[in-house]
Structure 1
Amino acid sequence: MDRRLRRAPDAEWVLMYRLGLSRQRIAALVRAEPNTVGYHLVIARRQDLGLEAEHQAAAGAAPAPYPSPKDLARMKGIIAWVSAEGRIPEDRSGDRDERSMARWLSGRRHEAAAGTLDPAYRDGLAQVPGWQENRRESEDEARWHRRLDQLAAYREEGHDWPRHHDYDSVREHTLGVWIHTQRFKRRRGELDPAKVKLLDAAVPGWQTGRTRGRRPRR
């Protein structure tokens, strides 16, 4: 792979483009292939949504519309895909096109969260129920609540706190690793306060854990 492709986008090329130079002009000045320069500029435009407008303004042209007809066609294609498949594209899919659609939707989610989502996108994506939800986060949240229920049931059966070392069963190990992680996050201040309250209510004493059967400290 070309050395410059490994560190795209090239800051110097992006600056030239921002100042109004065309891809072909930049390629001629730096003695690179136009396609190579174009590759860097595609990445730069994805990272900086205002880059194209600055380039157009510096070049003396009218700013390109955003979303462009190509952008809107992309959205319509994704809406059609969701309608046909009955689900949201997944970023872990084995299909490259599906991963690309998932990344596109992720970008729109970030814009929606920041309050910068263009009305054209907002209105179009309204046809896709649940598009703003992060499926992975939703699955992680559901798994967390299942583990809490499982731990509460485990304790109600009369068991001591599950261990993540020297465990007696796969069930104990699974729950032991989970509650150990919650304690670790709590100590570091990384555990959601709402989850702390849920743990306190469902499994009182979870922060202290097992008090008998511990190996003596040296």
Structure 2
Amino acid sequence: MDRKLRRAPDAEWVLMYRLGLSRKRIAELVRAEPATVGYHLVIARRRDPELEAAHVAAAGTKAGPSPAELARMEVIIAWIKAEGRLPRDGSEDKKERSMARWLSDRRREAAEETLDPGYRDGLAQVPGWQKNRRESEDEERWHRRLAQLAAHREEGHDWPRHKDCDSEREHTLGVWIHTQRYKHRRGDLAPDKVKLLDGAVPGWQTGRIRGRPPSR
């Protein structure tokens, strides 16, 4: 058995929990597995029936963000709206890197269910803020491909092919829509994306009718 498990409950971890810290936050601070911290807390709650009430009370009485902190959030939100994207932690701009770190902290708090309501309500103005940069860029690319496919169809072209293509554009769009069909058949395509596809490019699930010559 793990050395820490034999010593359960760890007094320091129990104190942090009593002061309102979540299991995940404690695990992060002490560099332990959340399951290990949870094991200690289970034993601690059995020994002290009032521990959970103290934890809930402490977590609920934490001071919210200061006016300066809320103002910083508004600055970051305004920047995101102006730039049309989330800040990047690899940016050459120091201020952008700082904003990216700030968002990363809020994502962690949201995952731990400790995000202050003031931040939660403010960041609700930013769709997808909880996603990391790669996820955000993937989402932007998905919507861009959908718009390109809709334009392709509006120009009178048949459904793009992913093989034996006439152009690089057709190949790119063909691979993309082929992937969406494959994901949909497997049940892996999000319902909101299915709805967007149905609205923007009706008939996308069927595609070309076998044997029909491509439209020009």
TM range (shorter): 0.5 to 0.7
Deviations 1:39-82 (A, max 9, x none): 9862337x46975993995898976743797xx69x65864643
Whole-Å separation in 2 of the counterparts to 1:80 and 1:14 = 42
The range that moved more, 198-207 or 175-184, is: 198-207
Whole-Å separation in 2 of the counterparts to 1:152 and 1:127 = 34
Match of 1:157 among 155, 158, 178: 155
Measured after TM superposition, the shift of residue 108 of structure 1 is 3.1
Deviations 1:156-190 (A, max 9, x none): 32222112233232321221122011101111012
Deviations 1:5-47 (A, max 9, x none): xxxxxx8254256413569xxxxxxxxxxxxxx99862337x4
Whole-Å separation in 2 of the counterparts to 1:204 and 1:158 = 14
Partner of 2:103: 102
Partner of 1:130: 124
Whole-Å separation in 1 of the counterparts to 2:163 and 2:171 = 7
Measured after TM superposition, the shift of residue 128 of structure 1 is 3.4
Gaps of 5+ in 2: 14-25
Whole-Å separation in 1 of the counterparts to 2:8 and 2:31 = 14
Partner of 1:93: 89
TM-score, normalising length: structure 1: 0.54
Whole-Å separation in 2 of the counterparts to 1:130 and 1:151 = 30
Describe the SS at the equivalent of 2:145.
helix
The range that moved more, 204-213 or 165-174, is: 204-213
Structure 1 stretches of 4+ with a deviation exceeding 4 A read 38-41, 48-53, 55-64, 75-81, 83-92, 95-100, 136-143
Does residue 166 of structure 2 align to residue 168 of structure 1? yes
Partner of 1:20: 10
Gaps of 5+ in 1: 1-10, 24-37
Alpha-carbon RMSD: 4.8
Whole-Å separation in 1 of the counterparts to 2:141 and 2:27 = 40
Identity within the alignment, %: 42
For the 8 Å contact 1:163–1:173, the answer to whether it is kept is yes
Distance 1:17 1:84, change over 3 A: farther
Describe the SS at the equivalent of 2:31.
helix
For the 8 Å contact 1:91–1:103, the answer to whether it is kept is no
TM-score, normalising length: structure 2: 0.55
For the 8 Å contact 1:109–1:132, the answer to whether it is kept is no
Q: What is the number of residues matched between the two proteins?
A: 179
- Higher relative CO (Cα under 8 Å, sequence separation at least 6) belongs to 2
Whole-Å separation in 2 of the counterparts to 1:126 and 1:160 = 45
**Mapping of 1:131-146 within 5 angstroms?**
133-135=127-129, 136=131, 140-141=138-139, 143-146=141-144
